Amino acid sequence: MPIREFELIRWIRRAARRGPGVVVGIGDDCAVLNPGAGQLLAKSDAIVAGIDFEPDAPPRQVGLKAANVNFSDIASMGGRPRFLLATLCLPPHLPPGWAKRAISGILAGCRAAGASLVGGDLSATSGPATIAVTALGTAARPVLRSGARPGDAIGVTGPCGGSILGRHLTFRPRIAEGLKLARVATAMIDVSDGLSADLAHVLEESGVGAQLESALVPIHRDARRLARKSGHSALSHALTDGEDFELLFTCRPGNFPRGARRFGTVVRGSGMRLDGKRLEARGYEHVLG
């Protein structure tokens, strides 16, 4: 059942409650915001049907993922999510209610993160359903990718691999963990491209290398389940699958936080070694037209 743009905007306007710092929310040409103290963080990330989610995935989970992939990036800087803008490009012949359920998922993600939906855009498209989100946050001291130093411990907030079995839609962004880690982390990133690929980003930006121990890489049970049928090892899934949305960080060994999993050490030089052998970063990369 087709839905008209302005009707949907009115529904969203009622459904989106205004949190702290929202001077003017949905309904004017721009949102007017008062982020308050700290530096402003901004991140844009889009998800596309057929690439980032199955076209028949529950729309509420799709909306939740669209919001949470962006909140995860705010978390990876040690920031607090504050505001979100969401652009939905919607093909004809979506199931009835798809758009409202996707937006309900976005709003659920905002509520859980303490953020407010303050704007966005609705468009028709002849292509796959696409949700492009921008999240804004604040951080007193943003943690960059570039601060890792030789001797730092390398840790991650949870086990990785096999997220394609469902967690890539339903994960919880590590916001509280990021706020705590911001006190001690020298560098931080969220695991989206894959544990080894994202570690490679940190190493490259920091101008350092890493030694990793395979026995210490935290492997998710989904990685083990997937390994039974994929022909790859559970370790390989943990290192390369991506979309785990755990936080990967470095810190001085004496500051290593309880609950996180240490699986390596930053060293001088460049590149990664796993049990002494060179490890190539492998992760998802789009090939663009």
* Burial of residue 128 (number of CB atoms within 10 Å: 0-12, 13-18, 19+): middle
Site string for its own copies, 122-151 (x = CB under 8 A): xxxxxxxxx-x-x-xx-x--x-xxx-----
Q: Which residues pair with 84 in a beta bridge?
A: 117, 135
Comparing CB distances to its own copies, the nearer of 167 and 201 is 201
The answer to whether residue 104 forms part of the interface with its own copies (CB under 8 A) is: no
Among 14, 37, 56, 92, binds its own copies (CB under 8 A): 92
3-class SS of residue 96: coil
- Give least dist CB 89 to its own copies, A: 6
- Give least dist CB 56 to its own copies, A: 14
**Residues 191-220 contacting its own copies, CB under 8 A:** 205
Distance CA(110)–CA(226), nearest Å, equals 31
- Give least dist CB 225 to its own copies, A: 28
CA dihedral 235, 241, 243, 244 (to 10 degrees): -10
Among 61, 73, 152, 153, binds its own copies (CB under 8 A): 73
The answer to whether residue 238 forms part of the interface with its own copies (CB under 8 A) is: no
Residue 185: C-alpha distances to residues 221, 237, 262, 275 (Å): 27, 26, 13, 24
b/e map of 200-209 (b: 16 or more CB within 10 Å)? bbbbeebebb
Longest dimension (CA), the chain: 60
- Give least dist CB 214 to its own copies, A: 26
Site string for its own copies, 6-45 (x = CB under 8 A): x-x--------------xx--xxxxxxxxx---xxxxxxx
Comparing CB distances to its own copies, the nearer of 2 and 259 is 2
The answer to whether residue 169 forms part of the interface with its own copies (CB under 8 A) is: no
Instruction: Give the count of residues interacting with its own copies (CB under 8 A).
Output: 77
- Give least dist CB 253 to its own copies, A: 24
* Burial of residue 273 (number of CB atoms within 10 Å: 0-12, 13-18, 19+): middle
